[in-house]
Amino acid sequence: MAPAPKPEILAAFEAAKGFMPTGEGLALHAAAVEAGRLGLPLLEVGTYCGRSTILLADAAREAGVTALTVDHHRGSEEQQPGWEYHDPETVDPAIGLMDTLPTFRRTLHAAGLEEHVIALVGRSPQVAKFWGTPLGLVFIDGGHTDEHANADYEGWAPHVAEGGLLVIHDVFPEPEDEFTGQAPYRVYLRALESGAFTEVSVTDSLRVLKRTGTGI
């Protein structure tokens, strides 16, 4: 059983701006600790303000590896003005667009984890196109459309090393959750049907899969 994060790390996670519940965060941290034993980087798609990054960075620090997090920091569909998850505090007043990068950097600084994280600022498919390093963990928590969820899966799942973990957030099987979780759910099914990944744990909307075969 993976150790839980220290109280100060959990407190930093709970204080950070974001949407991941604590139970799912603990499951993510446990997966990251397990994956860290492979000695490979841990990568997150969808940074927002760094709430879940804290947990990946803590696990990476303990394992002596690096956490990477990919985001364009302009917000996903449901975070734009007029939508349910919009936060006016994340808007850059100079340009009128969302910019979560400054908040993310403050989040990591407050948690004392800056040196354990590399922030990749850009669109996930563009970054994935030139990525060539095996990864111990890929955490998909980006856009919730089929286009974005599939692009994240196709771009990053091939880099999960043998025995590494693919973690998918916001997996909601119910049709009424079409906007918030059906695209991640379809990606989750795709991963299982590929024969490349085997499910190892379920915590609410968080699914942890292990690479046990080739391909995606």
Find the catalytic residue in 29, 72, 73, 144: 144
Identify whether the C-beta of residue 58 lies closer than 8 Å to the C-beta of residue 11.
no
Angle at 135 between CA 18 and CA 116, to 5 degrees: 55
Q: Helical H runs in 112-170?
A: 124-129, 146-156
Closest CA to 36 of 57, 54, 59: 59
* 3-class DSSP assignment, residue 136: strand
Beta carbons within 8 Å of 34's beta carbon, 6+ residues apart: 2, 165
Strand 206-211 relative to strand 117-121: parallel, antiparallel, unpaired? unpaired
User: Which residue carries 């808007």 as its tokens?
Assistant: 91
User: Which residue carries 């590896």 as its tokens?
Assistant: 65
Hey, what are 1's tokens?
């059983």
Active-site residue, 116 included: no
| CA dihedral for 123, 125, 126, 131, sign (positive or negative) | positive
C-alpha to C-alpha distances, 206 to 1, 169, 201, 202, nearest whole angstrom: 18, 5, 8, 6
Indicate which residues carry an active-site annotation. Answer: 144
